[in-house]
Structure formats: structure tokens, C-alpha cells
Amino acid sequence: MSTETITPVPETRYAFRPWLTQWLVGANVLVYVAMAVISRSPMDFSIEFSKLCGADYGPLTFGGQAWRVWTSNYVHGGLLHILFNMWCLWNLGALAERILGRWTYFLSYTACGIGGSLLSLWWNPWRTSVGASGAIFGIAGALITAIYFGKLPFPKEALRGISRSLVTFAGYNLLFGFLPGIDNSAHMGGLLTGLLVGILLAPALHRPRDERAGLERVVFLGVALALFGAWTAVKHFRGYVVQLARADEAVHNGDTAKGLPDLESVARQRPNDAAVQGLLGFSYIRIKDYPHAEAALKRVLELKPNDLNAQFNLGLVYGATSRYDEARQQFVKITQRDPQNDDAWMMLGSALKELHQPADAEAAFQRAVQLNPKNYEAYRELGWVQLASNQPDDALQSFQSALKINDKDRDSVLGLGRAYVAKHMSKEAAEAMQRYQTLRPAPAEDSEESERLVLP
């Protein structure tokens, strides 16, 4: 946020001490210090650590931890983040505390922070959002409308100067918020909440204290109900991320069957979400349900025709169902669009091998190992093509290269033994075959096919 200083309210006959602003700044700083001590990394905190400390993150917030829409306003991402925010809070807070009154200011600050969190969850529930900037923007908004619509006991010229400063502050920082890594949706949510709060409070600001207190209670009761309604709506439309996160974790941990019911439920709710359909297709491949995988991946490509991950996984489906020419066409398109993709070249080689085009297959595998010398699978497949093409010396070298990278790859050991047989090296062939027998087959979930899957 910008460090522009806001024009102050004219001095009155008594000294005003913004102790509530000091308390808010102190609370934010105290949380930061605790995080810095625990993490031993004061400049920047990791996303996972921020989540542990109360950051706003859709799967957790909607998953029973609604308090994060409030606590996230006191968590910051690092030293520079809190320095900028506290400088702005110090300037704006002192002004708001004086114009609005302490507890009205505190309730406005809290409501605006929650409003910012809610819009952030609506805009992107996967974002990990932290910081007081939503609340600070909200205070700026509340002051703008309170000054404009209220009848405040200050000189008009001074109030006009304050209004210009506030509008400049809000506009500049909103533009600044479009830079990468900044959650501008929280800024806008806080600002909109503040503008509304200021409009509602404006008629009460010039009233006698008792009358004003009654009106403010009504205003904040209404704001609380509005925020609760907004929370209910946001959770209704974005709460699917809880199921999706649970399914995604299960898939990544290898327990695809466990995550599939949640994933299918989300896919029914969001048929036009390409990421969800892509993960669903990936999961169906993992359990070898190729017809459903194909349908899900084709749906992704209807929504995002240039999605390389979906194209890649669809190519795997074609290969797994013996539609090798369709697989070849798919991987040709991928290598044209992404010529540095060694896995795509390897899978193109596999399709060409099955189509009995050994020369083209060998060229594709050679390209894969040139792009990624650590791709042991490409070396292994290259060795098999060379062996079938009566190139035992080259095949032997390819299998040896594969085993240097992964000495427990059973198929590479088998290929090595076959290459020794082709070269009439009986002793070496027998040793390789004995080693082949001692290596256990890989579980089906970790087979070479599943290793090549690409997550959406």
C-alpha cells in the first residue's frame, strides 16, 4: 500500500491521543513478532506457515474455520508487508478515530476487514490472503462517505482537503494493487464495505452522543446481518473448494478411489470448470476408467482448447485403449506447441513404436533424452526400439544409461539382459536376468503409465 500521508483534521482545544489506533498497530505488530520468532524468518513467511497462523484460505475457512475472515486481518506476509500497512493504518486510523469515535472506528475497521476477506474468498477461494489492507481501505472508504454525506463540526475547506487526500489514497493504492502477488479483491471488498458503512453512519455523526449511540447500534446490527448474509452466499457458491481440496489431496497421495466421490460431486456442481474436469480425467486414468477419463478430458478441451495437460492425458487415454494413431496425432500437436516437452516426445515415440514405425520412434526417443538426460524411461524405450531394429550395441548403451539414473527399473534390467543375449555375452546376460528376478514388480498405482500423467 502507498505511504502517502493523509491530511490531518484541524486541531481542537484538547489534545487527542489515538490510543485505539495505537492498540491496533500494536496487535498487528505483536502477531508479526510472534510469527517471526516461531518461523525464524522475519522477512517473509511461507504460505503454509501463514495458514497455520490464521490466514484466509477457502478450503480451511469454509471447512469449519470461519474465524479466519477476521484473524487474517492481523496476519502479514513479512516485514515489508506489515511496515507499509502499519504506516497507512497509523495515518488513517488516527483520523478515523477522531472523526468517527473510538468504538465506531473499531467496529468499522473490523467490519471492513471481514468484508475484504469475503470478497477475496469470492474472487479466488484458493488464494491465501493475509494483511490489514482490506480493513485500512475500508476505513478510507468510510471516511470518504462520512465526510461527504455527514455534517461534521470542522471547517469545510479542511474537510475538502481531507476528502481529496482520501480519494487519492484509495485510487492510487487500488491501481498499485493490480501488481502481481497483491490481493486487490480484499482491497476492493474492504473499500466497498467502508463506503457503505460511512453512508449509514453519516446522519448520526452530528447528533448528540446518546442519540448517536443508538443510531450506530442499529447501523452495526444491520452491517453484521449483511456480512452474515454475504458469508452465507459466498460459502454457498465457493464452498465446493472444501470437497475439491480433500479430493486433490487424496489423488496426490495415491488414494484416488478415496478422493473420487468428492471430485465427482464437485464436477457435477461445476461442469464448466476446466480445472475440476481435468483433475477428474486424471483421476479416472489412475483407476483405468478410460471411457470416463476421455469424456472428462474432452470436456476440458471444449472449455480450454489449448490446455496442454488435458491434451497430454487424452493422448495417454488413446494409447491405453490401443488407439495409437490418435495418440500419435495428439502427441504430435503437443510437440509442435511445446517442443521442449521431453515426456511428449517420449509418448510420441511410444505411439510410433506401436504403429511399427521404428525409425520415427527412435528419433522421437532420441529427442526426449536430448531434452532431458535424466529421463530414464525414454532411454529404456529407446533401447527397446534399437534392440528390435537389430542395434544391440546402441540398445546396450541406452539400457545402461537408464540404469545409471534408476538402477531399480525392472524393465531396463530385462532389456539389458536381452541386449547381452543379442551380443552373445552369456555370462553378463545371466547376471542381468538373475538381477531381473530379484527386483519386485512396481505396484499398479506406480506403474510407468501413471508416472507420466500430468496433473491439471
Which residue ranges make up each domain of the chain?
Answer: 19-236
Q: Is 46 left (phi over 0), alpha (psi -120 to 50) or beta?
A: beta
pLDDT at position 168: 61
Dist CA 425 CA 126 (whole Å): 58
Please report the DSSP string for 87-126 in residue order: HHHHHHHHHHHHHH-HHHHHHHHHHHHHHHHHHHHHH-TT
If you ran DSSP here, which 8-state letter would residue 180 be given? T
Amino acid identity, position 139: I
Q: Is 406 left (phi over 0), alpha (psi -120 to 50) or beta?
A: beta
pLDDT at position 154: 54
Q: Is 402 exposed, middle or buried (0-12, 13-18, 19+ CB in 10 A)?
A: buried
pLDDT at position 452: 60
CA distances from 449 to 115, 281, 290, 313, 352 (A): 47, 14, 13, 10, 16
Cβ atoms of 157 and 123 within 8 Å: the answer is no
Q: Is 44 helix (H, G, I), strand (E, B) or coil?
A: strand
Dist CA 417 CA 347 (whole Å): 24
pLDDT at position 99: 84
pLDDT at position 156: 53
Helix orientation angle between 19-39 and 79-100, rounded to the nearest 10 degrees: 160
Cβ atoms of 290 and 281 within 8 Å: the answer is no
Helix orientation angle between 156-176 and 79-100, rounded to the nearest 10 degrees: 150
pLDDT at position 453: 58
* Residue 352, all three cell numbers: 510410433
pLDDT at position 93: 86
Q: Where are the alpha helices (DSSP H) in 322-425?
A: 324-337, 342-354, 358-371, 376-388, 392-405, 410-422
Q: 276-306: string of b/e by CB count within 10 Å (b at 16+)? A: bbbbbbbbbbbeebbebbbebbebbbebbee
Q: Block means of pLDDT (10 residues each) for the chain, length 456 residues?
A: 48 65 95 94 91 96 96 94 88 86 93 96 94 90 84 54 57 56 81 93 82 88 96 95 91 87 92 93 94 96 95 96 96 96 96 95 96 95 94 95 94 94 92 89 48 56
Cβ atoms of 382 and 349 within 8 Å: the answer is yes
The CATH code for residues 19-236 is: 1.20.1540.10
pLDDT at position 120: 95
If you ran DSSP here, which 8-state letter would residue 78 be given? B
Dist CA 396 CA 4 (whole Å): 69
Cα distance from N-terminal residue to C-terminal residue, the chain: 34
If you ran DSSP here, which 8-state letter would residue 52 be given? H
Q: 416-444: string of b/e by CB count within 10 Å (b at 16+)? A: bbbbbbbeebeebbeebbebbeeeeeeee
User: 10 Å Cβ neighbour count for 384?
Assistant: 23
Q: Is 48 exposed, middle or buried (0-12, 13-18, 19+ CB in 10 A)?
A: exposed
Cβ atoms of 69 and 83 within 8 Å: the answer is no
Rounded to 5 degrees, φ, ψ at 176 are: -60, -30
* Residue 236, all three cell numbers: 454457498
3-state helix vs strand vs coil in the chain, percent to 5? 75, 0, 25
pTM: 0.77
Cβ neighbours for 432, distance < 8 A, ≥ 6 positions apart: 413, 414, 416, 417, 420
Q: Where are the alpha helices (DSSP H) in 124-183?
A: 133-149, 156-176
